[in-house]
Amino acid sequence: MHISEGVLPGWLLAAGWGLSVAGLVVGLKKMEHRKLPLVALLSSVFFVASLIHVPVGITSVHLILNGLVGVLLGWTAFPAIFVALLFQALFFQFGGITVLGVNTFNMAAGALVAYYLTRPLLRNPTRGKLIAAGVVSAFSAIFTSALLLSLELLACGSSFKSTAALAFIAHLPVAAAEAVINSLVLLFLYKNAPELLEVK
């Protein structure tokens, strides 16, 4: 779900950087030193998961897992996702540096939506609530990120209309797959490391 260099107008690139920098400032302020290993781990998971692309027409899809990152990190998802996207741009030319702000905001905004929607489910969690949190986090994060991507492409003109629609629809199966993954991870963490699911 990366937007490539040379697609978006300058004003949209600037807006993306402005929003991402604001998110990074908040995320770094909220980052707890004891959670640095978790932040690094989830940044790595996000990095690896989104490297494998499956072509779908003129676009491609891949696992994103920003919903899981959001549930476990909250605002700290911004720096975690930013670092992963930065290394993808530098090492594999996914996205790019000028569009890094927009790509970071798209992914981190989805993570934040998942975080706030699942917080009530993680208070006094049960097996059913954890599965629900997995499903909600996956669909809400991918829906938000895909919607932002589609709106940004539509802002570039009618020539991107079909690409925007395809990019949105193609990620629905990804959301279904991630709903299963997120649910299994949350169930595992509740059993083995419940402190990671504590809601403050």
Q: Is residue 30 part of a domain?
A: yes
Q: Are 95 and 102 in contact (CB under 8 A)?
A: no
N- to C-terminal Cα separation, the chain? 31
Q: Is the dihedral of CA 97, 98, 99, 104 positive or negative?
A: positive
Tell me the pLDDT of the chain averaged across its residues. 88
> How many domains, the chain?
1
User: What's the burial of 10, exposed, middle or buried (CB within 10 Å: 0-12/13-18/19+)?
Assistant: exposed
Tell me what the mean pLDDT of segment 124-129 comes to.
Answer: 93
Q: State the pLDDT at residue 3.
A: 74
> What pTM does this model have?
0.89
Nearest to 73 by CA among 188, 191, 200: 200
CATH number of the domain residue 134 falls in: 1.10.1760.20
Q: Write the pLDDT tens digit of every residue in 8-61.
A: 888 999 999 999 999 999 999 999 888 899 999 999 999 988 777 666 555 566
Q: Is residue 1 part of a domain?
A: no
